[in-house]
């Protein structure tokens, strides 16, 4: 990660959608994503290579979350557990979350001298978040 050429904003309370995509790409680039997405093998099946990848993936994820997120992962043993705990917390599929996103979408207006590109980016983000909720059910 020391040679990381891309700045990835740390995970906080409201950037799960973009953070999760970036962390997946970073771990994929470093050939570590497999230890996150696959189920954790039994203790006997964990090779030294798997353990090394898991340690690197876990460290990368934890280094890219804000301190406020640490309590969510304090008991996680493997990278898979860390990512799963964060995902479970941040991808809430309740009706209230959907309604809140729809309200934000309806209330979003471009200011008279506002930046259209930023405005469209906000719309895209809201649509992406709604789509992610739809595909989780």
Domain span at residue 26?
15-135
Work out how many domains the chain is built from and give that number. Answer: 1
- Is there a domain that residue 3 lies in? no
Answer yes or no: are the C-beta atoms of 69 and 86 closer than 8 Å. yes
Output the pLDDT for position 13.
77
pLDDT band, very low/low/confident/very high, at 47 (cuts 50, 70, 90): very high
Q: Would you say residue 5 lies in a domain? A: no
The pTM for the full model equals: 0.71
In a domain, 8, yes or no: no
Q: Whose CA is closest to 81, among 30, 133, 23, 35?
A: 35
Residue 56 lies in a domain: yes
32 in Cβ contact with 61 (< 8 Å): no
Reduce the DSSP state of residue 70 to 3 states and report it.
helix
């Amino acid at each position: 990660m020391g040679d990381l050429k891309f700045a990835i904003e740390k995970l906080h309370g409201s950037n799960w959608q973009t953070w999760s995509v970036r962390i997946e790409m970073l771990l994929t680039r470093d050939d570590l994503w497999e230890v996150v997405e696959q189920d954790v093998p039994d203790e006997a099946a964990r090779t030294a290579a798997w353990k090394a990848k898991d340690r690197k993936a876990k460290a990368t994820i934890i280094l890219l979350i804000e301190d406020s997120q640490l309590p969510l992962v304090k008991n996680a043993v493997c990278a898979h557990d860390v990512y799963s705990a964060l995902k479970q917390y941040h991808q809430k599929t309740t009706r209230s979350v959907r309604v809140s996103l729809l309200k934000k979408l309806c209330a979003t207006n471009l200011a008279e001298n506002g930046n259209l590109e930023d405005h469209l980016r906000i719309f895209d983000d809201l649509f992406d978040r709604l789509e992610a909720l739809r595909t989780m059910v």
